[in-house]
Structure 1
Amino acid sequence: MNGKSGGNLLGTAAVGLAALLLSACGDEEAASDFLDQNEPATEQQQDSGSQGSTSEDSTSGDSTSGDSTSGDSTSGDSTSGGSTSGDSAGGTSDEETAAIDCGTSPCVGPDHPYSSVQAAVDAAPDGGSVGIQDGSYRQCFVIPEHKSLTIKALDGRPHIKSRLCDGDKGVLVNYSKGEVVVDGLELSDAGTDKVIWHHDNTGALILRNVEVHNAGMGILASTNSERLEIHDSEFYDMDEPTQNGHLVYAGQVKDLVIKGSYFHSARNGHMIKAKSVNVDIENNYLLDNYGTTANLINIWGCGTNRVVGNAIVSENRDGAVQAMDVTVRKRYGDVKPCPVNNADITIAYNSFLKKGETLWSSLLLDVYDMDSMTIENNLVTGARLVKDGTTQGVYWYPGDWNGKNQSYAADQYLDDQLHVESAPSAVDSAHEPTEQYRHPMATEPRDNAYNMGAYSISQ
């Protein structure tokens, strides 16, 4: 019986029969609710402690195969609102995680020994890997502080959802002081809490080809964590009515890297909030389709900051929109001063389209006391380029500020991703991009840097 008792099989069959009868009576919602309340015990992932799971099914000795997908959904429900599941463009991030060998690594799913993701995480050795079969899992999991780990989809896009670990902190809670790589998963449905919590004083969390949605916040990277990287991923549909529902909140992370990713459907928070020491935001697509009340990219300037090659669109026709703002951290409230001795920013080769009236919209808002600032080769449509840091608060149009950026007519864009058929020639720059965004979420080589804006034009 593949490790399952006859009693468990009968119980599962009874639950399925009851749900089938409810469905036959035409009450699909009641059937779904019944399955939610009576799903197998291995799917009822309990809250985990800060050093790992404390639930009964979290040890490798009593996790069995055959019941890892919950009764309320199947692998077919993991497509997002804006991108396809399981076959996103491969991406060009610096490293790709190796395939998982389920003969030597713990793997989760109906065809594998583990039904609990937490159990597989606990069983994997430091520096090891966990594979997850495509499917829908009503679970959450915690990475303990002593363990570096790779967690990767075996096929499709496994969907981990609707359970919160460690005192309702997140679907994924990371305490590891080493390096954790998450590749190919969908994580969602955390209510008004965070989907992912990269905790205080942790190491590196690297997200590749992940889809994160439907919560109060997508990811919170807390104080003094070493590194957060997001590659070729999608974040959307965050809403926290009592505070800002940010898609990504990197709070005083030492290094933040975000590349080739798609951000959209933010209602009341920043798409990217970076209180980090060093920031690298390159070749992403940001779509302000709900008209969030916050600036799209918020940077507390500290260390070395790069915002290069991003395509940014705002559909907020009736309000003023700032694509990004930057303020030196030591001047922002009572937070800690910048721990390094420089505060520099480069904003180059971005394209920003603000639809509707210009109002007081700008590519960059509020620049204070940066040691150095480079703003060049940006295309700006329906907005000003920058509001300077003086008390007068002067807004500059692209061609008037330093002659290195240009206004661009909205009807010259070829598509919603802001590809162009022709564009002004770029000025000489030390920041020429070698990549550009590739829809729906990835990057591709950029042939040249002859033109301003986020995309190259072959010559």
Structure 2
Amino acid sequence: MRFLVCGSLLLAISGFFNAADAATLQVGVGKKYLSPSIAAKYTRDGDIVEIDAGVYPKDVALWKHNNLTLRGVGGMAHMQADGASVAGKGIWLIKGNNITIENIEFSGARVRDRNGSGVRAEGTGLTIRNCYFHDNQNGILTGSNKNSDIVVENSEFANNGAGDGKTHNMYIGAVRSFTLKYSYSHHSRIGHTVKTRAQTNYILYNRITDEYDGNSSYNIDISNGGIAYVIGNLVQQGQISENSGIISYGAEGLKYDANEFYLVNNTVVNDRPQGGAFVFVKPGTNPARIVNNLFIGRGVINAAGAEQSNNVRGDKNELISPLAYDYHLRLKAEALNAGIEPGTANGFSLQPTEQYVHKAGSEPRPVAGKIDVGAYEHE
């Protein structure tokens, strides 16, 4: 018995000292570590790596330890790869678990197989906040991992893609869950602006747009079904989009046991002159609910069997400034007070509680009588 107690105490003490040994590594000019790639060689589980704002040309890194926090300080730290990569995969290759990345800019990921990523995630669990991914062949690319949860918040993605339709602003593999909140994804190069194969998806309060000159494919591609909550987003297809579809669910087959689609209180604008499909939902999805959405422009909804309730086909004149992609409602818009309470699904509230603020931010959604249709509540 004494041995068991001592053994347990030893394990507890060992765990305590492991936590206490976690260090803060400082990176930058005049700091102990000149670049992130050098610091990466000295990290241990639980460390914090603070990277001074500035440009780190051709600096690429492998992060193999767990529970790391990697963040820019004093502004964004720019990993400007200019074609450099780790193992032919990307700028940062993440092999550790439970990694948090904050205030980092990633650009210039290019590799021979045209799949170079700002962040290539091969561990379990990744959180990205306040980061900027641009001009890479993929912004983020994750592997398949049924135990992994990927969270992206308050981040911007622009001009990612190799131009082959197979690379995207973000490409989330078959993970347990994917959460995208308060983010701005735009101008994907022919690929999708958001692409995910996750089992459960929370796409909440984002701006996902082609704008005037973007030529992306789908704005949102939930490739293999699963459970998807798409709530409170601004989604706009540009006039030269490569694909007639805007939001697609299950186009590559329903691969999960539960396939449920909830499209609630989004504003979806189609600027493509020849029109297209606002929404495609793969037959067999149950339930599929399309509720309180504002659809503007030419387009159809391909969702046989879906519940479609309190959606409004509006006009750009009902928006404050459509040319500036400000989709707040004007005073006499048809969408005012036209919604219903959307209820819950699987214990998750479908009621929008926030709304997108540009750039890559959010604010509480006002409560002003009956709910408005679309991503914004008129005050």
2:66 to 132, 147, 155: 147
Q: Which structure 2 residues correspond to residues 336-375 of structure 1 after superposition, within 5 A?
A: 337-338=255-256, 341-355=257-271, 357=273, 359-375=274-290
Q: Which structure 2 residues correspond to residues 47-62 of structure 1 after superposition, within 5 A?
A: none
Q: CA deviation at 1:429?
A: 1.2
1:380 to 282, 287, 295: 295
1:113 to 27, 32, 35: 32
Computed over aligned residues only, the root mean square deviation of the Cα atoms, in angstroms, reads: 2.3
Q: Structure 2: how far apart are the matches of 1:328 and 1:267?
A: 20
Whether contact under 8 Å (2:192, 2:221) holds in the other structure is yes
Q: CA deviation at 1:267?
A: 2.1
Q: CA deviation at 1:251?
A: 1.2
Q: Structure 2: how far apart are the matches of 1:313 and 1:228?
A: 24
Q: CA deviation at 1:353?
A: 1.2
TM-score, with structure 1 as normaliser: 0.69
Match of 1:450 in 2: 371
Q: Structure 2: how far apart are the matches of 1:239 and 1:112?
A: 35
1:429 to 338, 342, 346: 342
1:214 maps to 2:120: no
1:128 to 47, 52, 72: 47
Any idea what the Cα deviations from partners look like across 1:366-385, whole Å, max 9, x if unmatched?
A: 42211211110000000335
User: Relative to 1, partners in 2 of residues 1:280 and 1:351: Cα closer, same or farther, differing over 3 Å?
Assistant: same
Q: For this pair of structures, how many residues does the alignment match?
A: 335
1:314 to 229, 234, 237: 237
The one-letter code matched in structure 1 to 2:267 is S
Question: Can you give the 5+ residue segments of structure 2 that lack an aligned partner in the other structure?
Answer: 1-21, 344-349
Q: Secondary structure at the match of 1:147?
A: coil
Whether contact under 8 Å (2:173, 2:197) holds in the other structure is yes
TM-score, with structure 2 as normaliser: 0.83
Q: Structure 1: how far apart are the matches of 2:30 and 2:61?
A: 20
Whether contact under 8 Å (2:197, 2:222) holds in the other structure is yes
Q: Secondary structure at the match of 1:126?
A: coil
Q: Structure 2: how far apart are the matches of 1:406 and 1:254?
A: 33
Whether contact under 8 Å (2:165, 2:192) holds in the other structure is no
1:405 to 287, 311, 315: 311
315-324 or 212-221: bigger deviation: 315-324
Larger proportion of strand: 2
Whether contact under 8 Å (1:420, 1:457) holds in the other structure is yes
Any idea what the Cα deviations from partners look like across 1:22-77, whole Å, max 9, x if unmatched?
A: xxxxxxxxxxxxxxxxxxxxxxxxxxxxxxxxxxxxxxxxxxxxxxxxxxxxxxxx
Q: Structure 1: how far apart are the matches of 2:130 and 2:271?
A: 29
Any idea what the Cα deviations from partners look like across 1:233-277, whole Å, max 9, x if unmatched?
A: 000112313442310111101110000000111121011111110
Q: Which structure 2 residues correspond to residues 62-211 of structure 1 after superposition, within 5 A?
A: 104-138=23-57, 139-144=59-64, 146-162=65-81, 164-176=84-96, 178-191=97-110, 192=114, 193-199=116-122, 202-211=123-132
Whether contact under 8 Å (1:305, 1:345) holds in the other structure is yes
Q: What percentage of residue pairs aligned between the two structures are identical?
A: 22
User: Relative to 1, partners in 2 of residues 1:267 and 1:249: Cα closer, same or farther, differing over 3 Å?
Assistant: same
Whether contact under 8 Å (2:210, 2:241) holds in the other structure is no
Whether contact under 8 Å (1:169, 1:194) holds in the other structure is yes
Any idea what the Cα deviations from partners look like across 1:341-370, whole Å, max 9, x if unmatched?
A: 31111001000111253x342220242211
Q: Structure 1: how far apart are the matches of 2:24 and 2:133?
A: 25
Whether contact under 8 Å (1:233, 1:262) holds in the other structure is yes
